Amino acid sequence: MSSSYSLSDFDLRPTPCRLDVLSTFQGFDYALSQGDIEQKLSDKYDRVTIYRTLKTFLTQGLLHKVLDDNGGVKYALCKELCHQGDHQHQHDHVHFKCNQCGQTTCLETVHIPSIVLPAGFSKQESNLLIQGTCSMCRV
């Protein structure tokens, strides 16, 4: 399962929605979209409340974005406490999307190689999505 953080680790009040969203992420080892979260929690919270919770988690460094091959966004729990006050956390690891089951997984031990940008360019974040068949679907 994913990392077991408490909201206090990120200076967040434990509201019912935040606790439920965090619990939902902790129940999966792959990235979830806002739609996935809404589907699981739609009987308790509206779309705007879930959106605001995801945005807060992202801002505080509890989640990071995972870009999908169709231009969509998914979110994954950060595996380590990577927020450091005003410093933006970086996730320079590879993401893998299975073409059979559609799940996107963080490959924490596979890092994006260092890229030297031309003069005048500055990196804000890197994203690398590899597509193929995951170990569960290959069985």
Q: What is the 3 state secondary structure string of the chain?
A: CCCCCCHHHHCCCCCHHHHHHHHHHHCCCCCECHHHHHHHHCCCCCHHHHHHHHHHHHHHCCEEEEECCCCCEEEEECCCCCCECCECCCCCEEEEEECCCCCEEEEEEEECCCCCCCCCCCCCCCCCEEEECCCCCCC
- Is the pLDDT at 93 greater than 80, yes or no? no
Q: Over range 53-79, report the average pLDDT.
A: 87
Q: Over range 71-99, report the average pLDDT.
A: 71
**Local confidence band at 123 (pLDDT 50, 70, 90 cut-offs):** confident
- Is the pLDDT at 81 greater than 60, yes or no? no
Which range, of 9-23, 26-40, 83-97, 102-116, averages the lowest pLDDT?
83-97
**Local confidence band at 2 (pLDDT 50, 70, 90 cut-offs):** very low
- Is the pLDDT at 86 greater than 50, yes or no? no
Q: Over range 27-52, report the average pLDDT.
A: 94
- Is the pLDDT at 91 greater than 70, yes or no? no
Full-model pTM: 0.77
- Tell me the CATH architecture of domain 7-80+89-132: Orthogonal Bundle (1.10)
